[in-house]
Structure 1
Amino acid sequence: MVNAQTRLDFLRTDELLFFMSFVPYLIIEMFGTTMFPMPYFLHSVAKAVLIFAVISIFFKKTWSVYFFLVSAIFSLTGILVWNATSDTGVLALTILMMGAYKIDVRKIITVYLIIAGFITALAFAFSLLDLIPNLQYIRPDTGAVRNSFGIIYPTDFAAHIFYLYLFSAYLFLWKRPWLLSVIGVLTALFLIRFSDARLDALTILITAVIFVVIRYLQKGRFHKILSLSALTTVFLAYLSYYLTAHFNARQGLYARINGLTSGRLSLGKSALDLYGIKPFGQVIEFIGNGGSTETVSNYNFVDSSYLKVMLLYGSVFIILFVALTTVRSIQSVTSNDYYTLAVLIAVAINSMVAHHLIEPYYNVFSILLLADFVQDRDRRIKSVYLTDVT
């Protein structure tokens, strides 16, 4: 008689310990983005369970010099940011990143899609049933109604949808470009119609185009373009900072860009002038519209991830994170792992207009920069080969 195996039998010890951290962390932080009532102390629980991710590091079979170097630099930076701001966000990100080392990215993203997808759908359904608030905002210039569908703000709902679409495309939809495109267009139209989240909708359409282009044009001359696109994160991070730092409302181009991005340049410029940039961050109370429909008179929220992370956690951390992301992009090009590159490009574009770059409960790729992409890449290559032979 063959003994039945449980799902846990397919996990190594380090993987099991990592998921003992990641799963409760993801559940708690995901619910924190919804209108479900949740005791604040649970956020402390989410940080406490990260101890299992720390322990998992010692169960890795081998460690590379690169892993030790990145871990040491990011851990030290996280400690210095914590000392300057009392914020443990960088340390938490680093711990999860170290815990994900050598774990197949497909396993982590699958867990993310199940949990994040379920909680987003639950919030959506409960808001339609009036069991939790569906916050509705009116855009003054157009009168459009912006629904948040149980999430704390319409753009946060749209961000969840963007990342769920992005990682679904990465794992599943890349094999069926027509389905990827149709879902992308319908999702973008839904976000425009019901949440008026135009920028998130645009990044979904751009993501669909990137995946379709890579599916059919990843050979020959196009490879050179893809090689250059490995620098996308560096370029867009610098462009975001440059446009914001040099913003002048009296110059036509800047005024036009500011209008198209719903005032993001002017808000970012005000924050830069008021707070400046510190090496390891500073305490800033950003005030936005999330969680309530009451009018905010002193709104000062910075939406660009690059600007917000730099202001809160300092220039050192954002430079290191962008550098690590770029290294991962270059590794993707050299190993012909173009779909990983596609995700990094899509995240880089979205991060210009949204603030979720280093929040794993939105952008799970933020903790996967040291994970194992080889197994997933080989699986894709085999799948394409079998398709071509068939």
Structure 2
Amino acid sequence: MEMIESQEQLRNINVRMDELLFFLAFVPYITIGMLATTMFPMPGFFQAIAKGILVFACASIFYKKKWSLKFLIVAFSLSIVGILVWTATSDTGVIALTLLILGAYRIDARRIIKIYLFIIGVLLALAFICSLLDIIPNLQYIRPGSGIVRNSFGIIYPTDFAAHVFYLYLFSSYLYFKKHPISFSVLGVFATWFLIKFSDARLDALTLFGVLVLFLGIQLAGDKLLSLFRKIAPLAPLVAVGLSYYLSSHYDGAVSEYAKLNNLLSGRLSLGKQALELYGHTKFGQVIEFLGNGGSIESVRHYNFVDSSYLKIGFLFGIIFLVIFVLLMTMQAVEFARQKNHTALAVIILIAINSMIAHHLIEPFYNVFAILILADFPVKKSLPSEESQLLTEK
């Protein structure tokens, strides 16, 4: 009996050690990553520390109870591609992402998201307050033509500030919208207005408002609409990446429809087209210096920044990694649809759409879902009393 109890205690220790090691890597990694997007002074060696600490995420892999076939396939494919990308570009970004994905295997996704919300929320609020107190700069950019002032509130650029707000609202809604629909609806309207009024981040504000609309729609929709939603939603990542490439590659400024759309998207199509013609795509990435505004109010002379996550990932990390990652997103969405996890499906859709106009898809300090591909998403089952009540009502 004592031996059985000892074995059970050992298994519990393994579970706790698995999570402990992962969070020892995850917490400092997203903290340093988040701080790098603010105007707080950041010693250069902090980035090296963040990547070095990922050794804990690697160690956590060996404390898992068992490895599934899916885990082994994802681990093998991403590890090989990550090494090949590193060989071609000297960039360890894919390897770092892979270690976090594997470390999060069979850890409760909700727990990871709650820790993410606390860290990013506190640091964003700190940057916001410090910028208003002139402790760090509140970079203000003037939009050409309109003269609108765009505030970044302690973050390196207004759209980066807006992206943090978008993802905080998205993941908070995933956890709590169902319990507090009225509060989150009011918050969503306010956040949308705030981003447009003070940062003029129209596209990010629009996708944030989309969170409110979609989550509220899920609350109110009937079974038929939800069934249709489950069939269509998993296609979102594939449609998003397809549209991004099609519109950029076929962009023609002489065509009025394209010109209007490009203007609406703040020049994203023309910049994407330019990059496609200049760099093309490789299998495992290439070294490209994308020059964009941020960190200073001085304008970049040769601006060539590509905002679309899909295009940028394809340029920097290669088309093979892009295909693998989008397929993993799609497979995760299919699993959510099978589980009837509508809120998680909504998150996938909104990330897919936002990634068409923003470059944060695989940055965990923005999009924490990027590392939750193998994490556990428990599906709540009805309690016996609830099931009995449903049968009685029928």
| TM class by smaller structure | over 0.9
Closer, same or farther: CA 142–11 of 1 in aligned 2, 3 Å: farther
Give the C-alpha shift of residue 252 in structure 1. 1.5
Q: Which residue in 2 is equivalent to 1:334? A: 338
Q: SS of the residue aligned with 1:108?
A: helix
1:75 and 2:82 correspond? no
CA distance in 1, matches of 2:124, 2:13: 29
Contact preservation (8 Å) 2:78, 2:98: yes
CA distance in 2, matches of 1:261, 1:270: 15
4+ runs deviating over 4 angstroms: 8-11
Give the C-alpha shift of residue 173 in structure 1. 1.9
CA distance in 1, matches of 2:271, 2:225: 41
Give the C-alpha shift of residue 176 in structure 1. 2.4
Give the C-alpha shift of residue 178 in structure 1. 2.0
Give the TM-score normalised by structure 2: 0.93
CA offsets, 1:7-46, max 9 Å, x none? x999711000000000111111110000000101110000
CA offsets, 1:298-352, max 9 Å, x none? 0000001111111111100110000000000000001111111010001011001
Give the C-alpha shift of residue 220 in structure 1. 2.4
Q: Which residue in 1 is equivalent to 2:29? A: 25
Q: Which has the larger radius of gyration?
A: 2
Amino acid in the other structure paired with 2:66: T
Amino acid in the other structure paired with 2:305: F
Give the C-alpha shift of residue 115 in structure 1. 0.3
Q: Which residue in 2 is equivalent to 1:378? A: 380
Give the C-alpha shift of residue 378 in structure 1. 1.3
* Runs of 5+ consecutive residues of structure 1 not aligned to the other structure: 1-7
CA offsets, 1:278-314, max 9 Å, x none? 1111000000111000121100000011111111111
Give the C-alpha shift of residue 222 in structure 1. 3.3
CA offsets, 1:257-276, max 9 Å, x none? 10100000000110110000
Give the C-alpha shift of residue 221 in structure 1. 4.3
Residue 254 of structure 1 is aligned with which of 254, 258, 261? 258
CA offsets, 1:348-382, max 9 Å, x none? 110011000000000000000110002xx217x66
Q: SS of the residue aligned with 1:175?
A: coil
What number of residue pairs does the alignment pair up?
A: 376
Name the % identity: 56
Contact preservation (8 Å) 2:177, 2:215: no
Amino acid in the other structure paired with 2:339: S
CA distance in 1, matches of 2:110, 2:218: 19
CA distance in 2, matches of 1:216, 1:64: 37
Residue 210 of structure 1 is aligned with which of 209, 214, 234? 214
Q: Which residue in 2 is equivalent to 1:325? A: 329
CA distance in 1, matches of 2:99, 2:225: 40
Give the C-alpha shift of residue 174 in structure 1. 2.6
Equivalence map 1:35-184=2 (5 Å): 35-184=39-188
* Runs of 5+ consecutive residues of structure 2 not aligned to the other structure: 1-11
Amino acid in the other structure paired with 2:301: S
Equivalence map 1:307-322=2 (5 Å): 307-322=311-326
